[in-house]
Amino acid sequence: MAPNDTFDGLRSAERPRAAVVPVDASPVDTARVGTTPVAPNPVAAGVGRAFGFLVHDVSRLIKRRFERRARRMGLPITRQQAAVMLNVAANEGVSQTEVAAWLGIEPIALVRMLDKLHEEGLVERRAHPTDRRVRTLWLTTSAGLVVERILAINEAIRLEAFAALSPETRDALIDVLAQIKDNLALQEAVACERSGDDSREAPASAPSN
């Protein structure tokens, strides 16, 4: 008798059945499906809760939420442009170089954003009073309403992000993230000093969220 004939002759209850994995199963759950235990993949199990991935995903989702709300309000601005405006609002007369350092972006990228904000009538560039090589940044009189809308969007996103969290948990989370940022900034400063690299990232003066 051929092997196929033998298999076809088995009763349906005796036939091997493919394991069914729930769509929302975790890597550990998946490993338990079937008759033969399978060791969970430590990489797959760890990626979903890895600190760096979580921080990246939170930042990405905040950006998407901001820009979606901005479009609904008819606000022609990206989250990064909003960050530029908030930093200028908090430090009018600041130089372009300082803003680029605060936000950790290349000066040429900031120039493009400033060009756009200038076209929208939101930001002015002025000559420095004592150094003609430096351009200072100022908000226009019409930028005040835009700043108010940016702050309103930020507050709405914070409420979404902290939903179901107690004020104590929220404050503790912010404190922990601030400490983590300080820890990493210190290590980066030490690494820059050892390598002679002066391109360390400056802390943002007025974060957009």
Q: In the predicted model, is pLDDT for residue 101 greater than 80?
A: yes
- CB contact at 8 A, 53 and 121: no
Q: What structural domains and CATH numbers belong to the chain?
A: 58-195 (1.10.10.10)
Which residues, 6+ apart, have CB-to-CB distance to 207 below 8 Å? 83, 86
pTM of the predicted protein model? 0.69
Average pLDDT in the chain = 81
| Average pLDDT score over residue span 180-203 | 79
Residue type, 143: A
Largest Cα span, the chain: 98
Banded model confidence at residue 131, pLDDT cuts 50, 70, 90: confident
Q: Write the pLDDT tens digit of every residue in 13-31.
A: 444 444 444 444 444 444 4
196: left (phi over 0), alpha (psi -120 to 50) or beta: left
Report residue 8's pLDDT band, with 50, 70 and 90 as the boundaries: very low
The C-alpha atoms of residue 124 and residue 78 are separated, in whole angstroms, by: 18
Q: What percent of the chain has pLDDT over 70?
A: 71
According to DSSP, the residues that pair with 95 across neighbouring strands are: 136
Is the Cβ–Cβ distance between 128 and 138 less than 8 Å? no
